């Protein structure tokens, strides 16, 4: 029987990414490639709403494990990255959800994992890199009030970006393109401001 979280051994190593949408997964891929260059990345395209699971979390983790094994078939599952939008600005809620999901991931996967529990949304991670927005579009300048602050506490950052008088206005599909600009010179830009969920994700990813 194949152990939980593993596939048969092969010559390739695969990091599997699961998330709530393709744009979020693409954002994470830029961070994964910078941290683990040369490792193949495979996506699980099915949406798994883990924060909403409550009594159904264990069955959904079983499904995630099966999907990860299928995504890494013929290779070694060397790590799994799971993206979830928290969709709330509440530190106690963040800690509770993160501990719960981490516990379930540890039970289900023997390979390393990293949890991208984005607080509030992935856009709050992007807002740490104001120069990346301008590099993507010279007319996109992030408002001063979002610079050098705790972006974990920004409510509905996607809507906050759309409130800027940018042409074109920000859309979700821009997220991976902006993150790509954060790596334009071959290294990740220094964050301007902070975001706890981003910092904890990067720490887990680098610890593999």
pLDDT digits (tens, 9 = 90+) for 113-171: 999 999 999 999 999 999 999 999 999 999 999 999 999 999 999 999 999 999 999 99
Residue 31 CB neighbours (<10 A): 22
Phi, psi of 110 (to 5 degrees): -90, -15
pLDDT of 56 > 70? The answer is no
Coil vs helix vs strand at 13: strand
- The chain-wide mean pLDDT, for the chain, equals 90
pTM for this prediction: 0.88
SS3 125: helix
Phi then psi for residue 118, to 5 deg, are: -70, 120
Helix (H) or strand (E) holding 26: helix 22-35
Tokens of 179: 């993150």
Q: Which has more pLDDT, 60 or 18?
A: 18
Nearest to 100 by CA among 112, 110, 108: 108
Burial 81-92 (b: 16+ CB within 10 A, else e): bbbbbbeebeee
Residue 11 has what pLDDT? 62
Which element (helix H / strand E) includes 207? none
**Does the pLDDT of residue 7 top 50, yes or no?**
no
Does residue 202 carry a pLDDT above 80? Answer: yes
Please give the pLDDT value at position 47.
79
How confident is residue 6, by pLDDT bands cut at 50, 70 and 90? very low
The percentage of residues in the chain with a pLDDT greater than 90, rounded to a whole number, is: 76
Q: How many other C-beta atoms lie within 10 A of the C-beta of residue 54?
A: 8
CB-count burial class (<10 Å; 0-12, 13-18, 19+) for 39: middle
């Amino acid at each position: 029987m194949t152990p939980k979280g593993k596939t048969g051994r092969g010559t390739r190593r695969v990091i599997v990414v699961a998330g709530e949408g393709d744009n979020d997964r693409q954002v994470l891929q830029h961070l994964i490639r910078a941290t683990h260059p040369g490792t193949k990345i495979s996506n699980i395209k099915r949406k798994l709403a883990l924060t909403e699971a409550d009594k159904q979390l264990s069955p959904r983790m079983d499904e995630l494990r099966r999907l990860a094994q299928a995504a890494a078939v013929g290779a070694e599952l060397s790590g799994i990255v799971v993206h979830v939008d928290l969709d709330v600005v509440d530190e106690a809620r963040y800690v509770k959800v993160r501990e719960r999901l981490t516990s379930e991931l540890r039970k289900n996967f023997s390979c390393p994992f990293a949890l991208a529990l984005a607080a509030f949304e992935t856009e709050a991670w992007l807002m740490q890199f104001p120069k990346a927005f301008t590099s993507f579009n010279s007319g996109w300048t992030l408002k001063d009030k979002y610079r050098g602050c705790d972006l974990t506490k920004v409510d509905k950052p996607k809507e906050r970006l759309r409130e800027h008088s940018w042409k074109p206005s920000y859309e979700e599909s821009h997220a991976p393109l902006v993150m790509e600009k954060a790596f334009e010179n071959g290294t990740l830009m220094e964050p301007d401001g902070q975001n706890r969920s981003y910092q904890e994700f990067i720490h887990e990813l680098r610890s593999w």
